[in-house]
Amino acid sequence: MCLAPHLPNYLTHPDARLDNNVAERGLRPLTIGRKNWLFVGSEDSGRSAATILSLVQTCRNLKINPQEYLEDVLRRIMAHPAKLIHELLPDNWSTAKVS
């Protein structure tokens, strides 16, 4: 019986990582800011802050300027059809963006 049954995956998939450093580095700013966000006002405010932080981090991961994204989406969201709200998500935004 192999002590590390998943080890062969790393031999057949060269892009697989042995560590979790990428995910840990992504969480570090949240951990550092935890004291700052301890008093966000209410549970709803905490959910709103988490949503915005998630959108900003997603933009960063997709190489999108978060400020440009948020400004554009906040200007367009009221007139945007509810059926097409998925177009305003960061991964679809750059293709649906009106120049």
Q: Where are the alpha helices (DSSP H) in the chain?
A: 7-12, 21-32, 43-61, 66-76, 90-96
- The two three-digit tokens of residue 58, written as one number: 């997603």
Give the span between the Cα atoms of 58 and 98, in whole angstroms: 20
The residue range of the domain holding 54 is: 7-96
Query: Token pair for residue 18?
Result: 């042995």
Residue 1 covered by a domain:
no
Task: Say if 2 falls within a structural domain.
Answer: no
Residue 78, pLDDT score = 92
Is 84 a member of any domain?
A: yes
Higher per-residue confidence, 59 vs 31: 59
Q: Judge whether 83 lies within some domain.
A: yes
Q: Rounded to an integer, what distance in angstroms lies between the CA atom of residue 45 and that of residue 82? A: 23
Q: How many domains does the chain contain in total?
A: 1
Q: What is the per-residue pLDDT across 37-92, written as a single tens digit (0 to 9) for each?
A: 677 788 888 888 888 888 999 999 899 999 999 999 999 999 999 999 999 999 99
Q: Is residue 81 part of a domain?
A: yes
pTM: 0.60
